[in-house]
Amino acid sequence: MARVLLSHGWDFLRNNEQPTATATSVVAANARPLHLRLALEELGPTFVKLGQILSTRADLLPPEYLVELTKLQDSATPVAFEEIREALATELGRPIEDVFAQFDPVPLAAASIGQAHAATLWDGTEVVVKVRRPGIVEQVNEDLEILKELAATASRHWNFADRYDLVGLVEEFSQTLRAELDYIREGHNAERFAANFAGDSHIHVPRVFWEMTTTRVLTLERMRGIKINDLKALDEQGTDRRWLADYATNVVVKMVCEDGFFHADPHPGNFFIEPNDAIGLIDFGMVGMLDEQTQDLLAELLIAINHQDADRLVDVFLELGVTRKRIDRASVRRDIERLLSAYWGLPLGELKVTALLNDVYSVMRAHQMHLPPNLALLLKTLIMVEGLGVTLDPDFHLTNSLSRYTERLVLRQYSPFKWMRSFGRASLALAKLGTEMPQHLRRIVTAAENGNLQIGMRPEGFDPVIDRLERIANRIVLGVIAAAFINGLAVLASVYRPPGWERWGWAVFTFGFVCALLLGVYLAWNILRPGRSRRV
């Protein structure tokens, strides 16, 4: 790994410096995103997945990096069919000839984690069989351990890594990637989507064949249709693209606003339009979830935007968890006011969600904020959905679809039933606190009597004071050293006169005097210089 990182200019990733000549002398500053992508591709599947996730984090990386990382393709050299045959026999407990009437040895797709094959069951049902690559779990675990060590090292030496809690981000990535390795989880995701759209004849979610599904093998009903971005084929089929853009968008918005469980990878390859214009969904490895509290906060966010309330927006941002460090609230408020003024009075139908989110991301990066994973997935999904809608219909505006659901969110936020539920939960919490309070007080009193009472504090607000005290202490030490030099020279010159002092004593005195003078001058300069923010 070290060799790959150095060959692609690791110094600029670690120290935010220009790439060294030994790394790649021809690389200019504007080629850094390219080198990051090339390094991730060379490091293998785990790092390709990392790059793909980073390509969705506009709150962390500037646009030029996002554009480059979106070029990462989750493709790999296909595994030999004999290995696939052996893996299937091991997982299913019998030869594939006993399970499938037909099994195509040529994969439909080969990705970094697994590959998909077309097959037919003995009853004639066409299926797609996803098989995890041999040894991929061990490789991913090893790569993730390396990533964790790398993140910990970077956090100690790289300000960016420390500001954005790189260790925490790697842990979040580890959880996401390990979830994708479990095909049983993906099967349950598919069934949950099927249940959420059970009453919608225009949504087709593939059936899961559990008797042929394990953590390593996933067997799904095969979906046939036209890819949603194949405009010529859609027109030939007679599909109303304007209707399709609106309907497909409403499907995703319903997932977010009503179900709280959404498909987090809505790229065109995962949507098939069947002859009856039903939308077939595939690939349920990456999903996002929003709990009721987060949905309520999103409603608060919409209300604050509608009322141009910058203070309320800052409060919602902080409650959503977009920062883990102290921020300059006044500065954030000014930037948000500036952002809101740019969109003031703009009709909802003319608002581009992608442009708005890009402006929000700029404010976040300027103040070292970042989103929790579920919200990062949500905003990435909205951007992809808007791009999909515009592809189908150039006049498409995502805000028209969003407005219908945001009204429901706001109404739910202030509905009497919600207030009654909140009051009920608060009453239960208060009753529990009342019954537990005497026990907690007894523990505190007992600890105080035994001398074991400890109070934890996070002294983040004292950092400037501590730094200043350290600088004062350093200056005092320098002053004491300088005074000790002068005092020692005076004593040496007046009391102690060893043999030969007349010949070389003047040199010792001069050397000591110069050292004391330099220390004094340095101390005076450090105290009097403008911008005394550095430590002595």
Residues belonging to the active site: 265
User: 58 with 357: CB under 8 angstroms?
Assistant: yes
| Beta carbons within 8 Å of 486's beta carbon, 6+ residues apart | 512, 513, 516
Q: Are 158 and 15 in contact (CB under 8 A)?
A: yes
Whether 69 contacts 33, CB under 8 Å: yes
**Torsions phi, psi for 449 (to 5 deg):** -65, -35
Contact 38, 3 (CB under 8 A): no
Q: How far apart are CA 151 and CA 90, in angstroms?
A: 37
Q: What is the 3-state secondary structure (H, E, C) of 18-49?
A: CCCHHHHCCCCHHHHHHHHHHHHHHHCHHHHH
| Selection from 317, 275, 272, 266 nearest residue 294 by Cα | 317
Contact predicate 214/90, CB 8 Å: no
256, with CB counted inside 10 A (0-12, 13-18, 19+), is buried
Q: H-type helices in 258-309, by residue range?
A: 292-306
Amino acid at 532: R
Partner residues linked to 262 by β-bridges: 288
Torsion on CA atoms 23, 26, 30, 32, rounded to nearest 10 = -20
Q: 3-state secondary structure string, 301-366?
A: HHHHHHCCCHHHHHHHHHHHCCCCCCCCHHHHHHHHHHHHHHCCCCCHHHCCHHHHHHHHHHHHHH
Sign, CA torsion 463/468/469/474: positive
Distance in Å from the first CA to the final CA of the chain: 38
Which residue has tokens 């001058």? 521
Q: CA torsion 262→265→266→272, rounded to 10°?
A: -110
Nearest of 433, 291, 438 to residue 375 by alpha carbon: 291
Give one DSSP letter per residue of 132-194, joined into a string.
EPTTHHHHHHHHHHHHHHHHHHHHHH-HHHHHTTHHHHHHHHHHHHHHHH-HHHHHHHHHHHH
Q: Do 6 and 15 contact (CB within 8 A), yes or no? A: no
Retrieve residue 509's tokens.
């005195």
Cα dihedral 263, 267, 268, 269 sign: negative
